[in-house]
């Protein structure tokens, strides 16, 4: 203990008694409290490229469902930069033999701060829904844009001399920062050699702090678990402070890996359970997803008519702005209001869709189903499914109703639920040490933890939305939807819709239920069809 605590009876003195660096800035964050930021981090924050993140909702369309989810990528990025510094400093102080330098710490903090620079309007809606529609063959993801935006930020703000003044060695440290944000392409697999150039294999653990591709346990998740739960009003069962206490670097298969105590395995399962719970309750909320689907369609219709000036005066559409960082800097959630409050006749269709969102005239969710096995779905397959849904009519269908493929949302929504590593159990890649043997590690199998843990760690949910709101048309669409699910060997839709059509032995006997208009099961005088909406 420091001399100051001797004789004072302190049981748990502060882990480290650090004086405030007078050159640093302090931010009051609702999640982490008073956060101290290095001057170079503040210099990066004070750029248009980083300030842009103030105008991109962290949870996209979920804000239309959860009134508290108004937080943005800006504050999340600050939190990740802070936590990245916390973890690497803990490791440095606990294990001086790791030879973690001040350069290493600063680079890890910068990577955490800048890891989300490439997000587009409404965050994941942009790269998982809008861009695949506009560029079906493109594999573009926001991590790719984060690298390009980081290069752009450093260049246009002349930050290289500033970085050198703070002790960074260029270009090596720039390479290291970018490798933490996104693993470089066209490199050898990790098991065949060391794919990184920024730091040697002796410091491999540094690549597990911001975005951990091995176990999925990283500071990005720690911040968004805490921050999203806080704003959503959902309990957070994972406490990163405890992980910090037990984090230790050990040698695993010739590489250094961040490990934790064996008694913490249950807490790590809780962490991934929290991730899955957030996806189910918020990130993949059916209404939030419907709204993002509608925003995507509005953006597609507005695409030819919204132009953004980029480098050299060239004009870019919304989807093409990802290829020019000067244009992309100007692309944020504000496009929603730009379309909504426009008066141009060219934007009339897009404007109507967004107006419907603000008036809560949303698409109907016909239900949710699952395939027996995971399916890979192309845009062509989604269009084919939409056509099938329009024509998949049972013999006992409602007469006088005509359904068109365009009535069904073309992108039959594929919602993937997993623990972060698709079908794999992420804990299988984690190594644990014991109190008496801190240099030796072991795996802990699922059966050693609990017999109640899941056997499968991924599932794929398929949702179909319907654009029309007419009661009779929606009723017909639901009947088609159930028959379509059965014909494709998908599970029968869950929720109220499973009571809606009764299927006979030939799966053709689909009969709508008949309930009185004022059933004792209804709370208001509305039709039974409306009451059965999932």
Q: Which residue has the tokens 């014991």?
A: 434
Q: Which residue has the tokens 């903090």?
A: 109
Burial class of residue 125, CB neighbours in 10 A (0-12, 13-18, 19+): buried
Instruction: Print burial letters for 203-216: b (CB count within 10 Å at least 16), e (below 16).
Output: bbbbbbbbbbebbb
Bridge partners, 257 (sequence order):
250
Quickly count: other Cβ atoms within 10 Å of residue 311's Cβ: 12
Catalytic residue among 119, 142, 231, 285: 142
Question: Is 142 an active-site residue?
Answer: yes
> Contact, 288 vs 64, CB < 8 A?
yes
Give the span between the Cα atoms of 39 and 22, in whole angstroms: 10
**32 in helix, strand or coil?**
coil
Give the span between the Cα atoms of 160 and 137, in whole angstroms: 36
The answer to whether the bond into 534 is cis (omega within 30° of 0) is: no
Burial class of residue 398, CB neighbours in 10 A (0-12, 13-18, 19+): middle
> Contact, 61 vs 55, CB < 8 A?
no
Three-class DSSP labels, 36-97: EECHHHHHHHCCHHHHHHHHCECCHHHHHCCCCCCCEHHHHHHHHHHHHHHHHHHHHHHCHH
Q: Is beta strand 364-370 parallel, antiparallel or unpaired with respect to 248-252? A: unpaired
Give the span between the Cα atoms of 135 and 255, in whole angstroms: 39
Q: Which residue has the tokens 């069904």?
A: 408
Give the span between the Cα atoms of 188 and 181, in whole angstroms: 18
Q: Is beta strand 255-261 parallel, antiparallel or unpaired with respect to 432-434? A: parallel
Length of the chain: 534
The residue among 473, 65, 54, 497 whose CA lies nearest residue 292 is 65
Structure-token pair, residue 171:
């270009």
Give the span between the Cα atoms of 487 and 489, in whole angstroms: 5
> Contact, 318 vs 302, CB < 8 A?
yes
CA dihedral (209, 213, 214, 218) in degrees, to 10, reads 30
Q: Which residues are catalytic?
A: 142
């Amino acid at each position: 203990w420091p001399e100051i605590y001797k004789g004072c009876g302190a049981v748990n003195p502060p882990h480290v008694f650090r004086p405030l660096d007078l050159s640093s800035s302090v931010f009051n964050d609702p999640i982490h409290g008073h956060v101290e930021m290095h001057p170079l981090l503040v210099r990066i924050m004070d750029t248009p490229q980083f300030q842009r993140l103030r105008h991109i909702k962290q949870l996209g369309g979920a804000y239309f469902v959860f009134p508290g989810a108004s937080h943005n990528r800006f504050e999340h990025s600050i939190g990740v930069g802070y936590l990245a510094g916390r973890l690497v400093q803990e490791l440095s102080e606990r294990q001086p033999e790791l030879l973690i330098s001040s350069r290493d710490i600063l680079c890890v903090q910068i990577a955490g701060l800048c890891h989300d620079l490439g997000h587009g309007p409404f965050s994941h809606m942009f790269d998982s829904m809008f861009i695949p529609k506009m560029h079906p063959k493109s594999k573009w993801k926001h991590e790719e844009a984060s690298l390009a935006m980081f290069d752009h930020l450093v260049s246009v703000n002349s930050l290289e001399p500033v970085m050198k003044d703070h002790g960074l060695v260029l270009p090596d440290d720039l390479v290291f920062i970018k490798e933490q944000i996104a693993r470089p392409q066209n490199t050898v697999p990790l098991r065949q050699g060391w794919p990184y150039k920024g730091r040697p294999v002796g410091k491999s653990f540094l690549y597990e702090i911001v975005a951990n591709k091995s176990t999925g346990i990283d500071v990005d998740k720690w911040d968004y678990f805490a921050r999203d739960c806080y704003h959503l009003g959902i309990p957070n069962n994972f406490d990163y402070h405890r992980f910090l206490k037990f984090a230790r670097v050990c040698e695993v298969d010739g590489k250094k890996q961040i490990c934790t105590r064996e008694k913490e395995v249950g807490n790590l399962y809780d962490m991934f359970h929290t991730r899955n719970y957030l996806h189910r309750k918020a990130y993949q909320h059916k209404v939030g997803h419907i709204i993002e689907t509608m925003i995507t369609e509005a953006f597609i219709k507005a695409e030819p008519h919204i132009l953004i000036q980029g480098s050299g005066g060239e004009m870019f559409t919304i989807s093409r702005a990802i290829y020019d960082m000067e244009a992309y800097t100007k692309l944020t959630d504000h496009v929603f209001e730009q379309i909504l409050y426009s008066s141009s006749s060219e934007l009339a269709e897009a404007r109507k869709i967004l107006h419907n969102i603000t008036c809560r005239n949303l698409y109907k969710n016909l239900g949710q189903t699952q395939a027996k096995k995971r399916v890979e779905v192309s845009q062509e397959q989604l269009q084919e499914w939409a056509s099938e849904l329009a024509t998949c009519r049972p013999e006992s269908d409602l007469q006088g109703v005509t359904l068109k493929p365009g009535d069904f949302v073309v992108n039959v929504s594929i919602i993937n639920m997993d623990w972060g590593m698709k079908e794999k159990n992420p804990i299988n890649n984690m190594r644990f040490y014991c109190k008496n043997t801190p240099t030796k590690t072991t795996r802990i199998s699922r059966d050693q933890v609990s017999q109640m843990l899941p056997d499968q760690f991924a599932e794929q949910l398929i949702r179909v939305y319907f654009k029309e709101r007419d009661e009779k048309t929606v009723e017909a669409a639901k009947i088609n939807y159930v028959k379509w699910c059965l014909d494709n060997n998908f599970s029968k839709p869950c929720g109220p819709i499973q009571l809606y059509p009764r299927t006979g032995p030939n799966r053709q006997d689909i009969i709508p239920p008949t309930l009185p208009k004022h059933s004792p099961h209804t709370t208001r005088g509305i039709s039974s069809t409306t009451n059965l909406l999932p």
